[in-house]
Amino acid sequence: MSATPQASTRRSKTIPLHKEQPRTRTKRAEFFRKFHRYVGIGALIFLSLLAVSGFLLNHPGLLGAPSERTLSFAVDPRDPQHLYRGTRSALYSSEDGGKTWTEVPMLFAAERAVDIAYAPDNPDHIYVVLEDLGLIRSTDSGIVWEQVGLGFMPLAEGIRLQRIGIGSTQNLNLWTSGGLLTSSNGGKTWASIAQSTKPGRDLYTIIHQIHTGYFFADWFVYLYDIAAWGLVGLSISGLIIWWRTRKRRLHRT
């Protein structure tokens, strides 16, 4: 008894040759899982190094370096034992040739003191360049300090103050990231030299300060520290979870 045409059609139904076999799909999925795993481990190590190195750079004292990097230094021309040292957070002075240091008292924080200079014709006049906050001076050998008006706020304009050159108590030259400023009347008025346009914002400084946290406030760097260690903890916990999951799979097999 021969099979009906309908039954013969059912038995002779073929599987398309282009259809992917289950084993091939499994191998491909396993390859991508391994690829994702090793790339993830590499990214974990890289991000952990970034987080830890960034934390240590913001706290150099943990590396055995001085608690604050010296940005500027000056010696009193009349007394070699009297020294000034500028750092990121303050201005310090020493009366014993650098054996001990004390913060110079003033009404405002002398943050990022990048240059210190004495007037050659009158060493009682001391000028300190604050990179983001302006120019300050003392006319009584460092007892009282006052702000020297520039006509703008460097931080607000995105300009960095860098160095000061003093010809006399009346002739001042201030180099900035936006060009040279000069004064012929002791800082009462300033003129811009060879600067046809208004200086643009110093984007490098702004981006660097945002990256380190100092752009917002000095205390903000500690928030960055918390985020850095949170990233390290997240990476390690992810590695632990992956390892435990892998062990469970091995036990099941």
Under the banding of pLDDT at 50, 70 and 90, the label for residue 218 is: low
Which pLDDT belongs to residue 49?
76
E-strand ranges in 90-232 read 91-94, 102-103, 113-119, 122-130, 134-138, 146-148, 161-166, 172-176, 179-183, 191-193
Is residue 85 classed as helix, strand or coil in its secondary structure? Answer: strand
Which pLDDT value is given to residue 123?
92
CA distance 185 to 34: 72
Of 18-27, 84-93, 161-170, 241-250, where does mean pLDDT reach its minimum?
18-27
Cα–Cα distance for residue pair 76/97, rounded to 1 Å: 10
- The DSSP bridge partners found for residue 173 are 165, 182
* 166 close to 120: Cβ distance less than 8 angstroms: yes
What pairs with residue 175 in β-bridges? Answer: 163, 180
Tell me if 114 sits within 8 A of 131, measured CB to CB: yes
Cβ-proximal residues to 126 (8 Å cutoff; 6+ apart), any chain: 74, 84, 116, 117, 118, 119, 137, 138, 141, 142
Cα angle 93-95-98, degrees, rounded to a multiple of 5: 70
pLDDT over 90 for what percent of the chain?
A: 32
How many CB atoms within 10 Å of residue 88?
Answer: 15
6-38: pLDDT as tens digits: 555 555 555 555 555 566 767 777 777 777 777
pLDDT at residue 68 tops 90: no
Question: Does the predicted TM-score (pTM) go above 0.85?
Answer: no
pLDDT at 196: 44
pLDDT band for position 173 (cuts 50, 70, 90)? very high
pLDDT of residue 144: 92
Q: Return mean pLDDT, the chain.
A: 79
Q: Percent of the chain scored above 70 by pLDDT?
A: 74
pLDDT digits (tens, 9 = 90+) for 43-53: 777 777 777 77
Contact 93, 101 (CB under 8 A): yes
Query: Cα torsion at 69, 74, 79, 83 (round to 10°)?
Result: -20
* More reliable by pLDDT, 8 or 72: 72
Highest average pLDDT, of 60-64, 81-85, 245-249, comes from 81-85
The answer to whether residue 130 scores a pLDDT higher than 80 is: yes
Least confident of 9-23, 86-100, 173-187, 238-252: 9-23
219 or 133, greater pLDDT: 133
